[in-house]
C-alpha cells in the first residue's frame, strides 16, 4: 500500500523472477486512461479496452472490448456481485 504506480511494474517484474510466484504473473499490464484527457493514439495498439461501473448496491459490471486488426472483434460483459 502507498507505492507509487510508476514503481509497481518494476516490483512486479522482480517478484515474477522468483519461481514460487512466476505462474501468478504470466502477464503484467498496468494501464489506465483518464477519460477527462484527450484520446491517446497509443490506445489504438491495445488489443483490449475495458471499463467498469456500478449497476446497483454491491453489483458491478466490467465491459471488455476486444480488437483484432484495429476493429472490434468481440465484447464481453461480466457482472460481479
- Tens-level pLDDT at each residue, the chain (81 residues): 566 656 766 777 788 788 887 776 665 555 666 666 776 777 777 888 888 888 888 999 989 888 888 788 999 999 999
Residues 17 and 54 in one domain: no
Residues 49 and 71 in one domain: yes
- What is the structure's pLDDT at 33? 67
Residues 44 and 75 in one domain: yes
Q: How many domains does the chain have?
A: 2
- What is the structure's pLDDT at 79? 94
Residues 25 and 38 in one domain: no
| Closest to 77 in 3D by CA, of 54, 50, 57 | 50
Strand, coil or helix: 79: strand
Residues 64 and 77 in one domain: yes
> Does the reported pTM lie above 0.85?
no
| Closest to 26 in 3D by CA, of 16, 18, 36, 35 | 16
Domain residues for the domain of 81 are 33-81
Amino acid at each position: 500500500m502507498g507505492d507509487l504506480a510508476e514503481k509497481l511494474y518494476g516490483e512486479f517484474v522482480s517478484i515474477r523472477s522468483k519461481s514460487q510466484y512466476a505462474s501468478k504473473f504470466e502477464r503484467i499490464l498496468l494501464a489506465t486512461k483518464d477519460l477527462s484527457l484527450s484520446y491517446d493514439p497509443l490506445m489504438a495498439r491495445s488489443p483490449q479496452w475495458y471499463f467498469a461501473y456500478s449497476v446497483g448496491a454491491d453489483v458491478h459490471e466490467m465491459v471488455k472490448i476486444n480488437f483484432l486488426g484495429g476493429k472490434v472483434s468481440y465484447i464481453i460483459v461480466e457482472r460481479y456481485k
